[in-house]
């Protein structure tokens, strides 16, 4: 795990505390997990998008919740009928996850 301190940058940014908090929050998520990988994209002054690489999961396998300024994304493979499928190799991780982002 890599720790990145942005404290030296903040000394010269008096009055930009909110921006600094948002910047730090974009570099880490609240749960501390790095699975699954994700991107935080900025598309305008107040437009952002979070892209999560949840291989093997479908939209029905994801749950989104916003509470007190925190977006929580939960995902996990629901039980599917796999009687008709025989895997010769199953290498796509389908484990459950929870990511939280401060808005």
pLDDT tens digits, one per residue of 20-66: 666 666 555 455 567 899 999 999 988 999 999 988 888 899 999 99
pLDDT (0 to 100) of residue 12 = 59
CATH no., domain 7-102: 2.60.40.790
Q: Which distant-in-sequence residues (6+ apart) come within 8 Å of 19 by Cβ?
A: 13
Q: Which residues, 6+ apart, have CB-to-CB distance to 26 below 8 Å?
A: 40
- The sign of the dihedral angle between the CA atoms of 87, 93, 97, 101 is negative
Q: Is the peptide bond before 49 cis (omega within 30 degrees of 0)?
A: no
Residue-level pLDDT at 65: 96
């Amino acid at each position: 795990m890599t720790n990145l301190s942005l404290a030296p940058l903040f000394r010269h940014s008096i009055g930009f505390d909110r921006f600094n908090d948002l910047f730090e929050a974009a570099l880490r998520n609240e749960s501390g997990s790095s699975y699954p990988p994700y991107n935080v994209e900025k598309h305008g002054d107040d437009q952002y998008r979070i892209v999560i690489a949840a291989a093997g999961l479908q939209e029905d396998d994801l749950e989104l919740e916003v509470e007190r300024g925190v977006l929580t994304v939960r995902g996990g493979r629901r039980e599917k009928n796999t009687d008709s499928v025989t895997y010769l190799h199953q290498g796509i991780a389908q484990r459950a996850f929870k990511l939280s982002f401060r808005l």
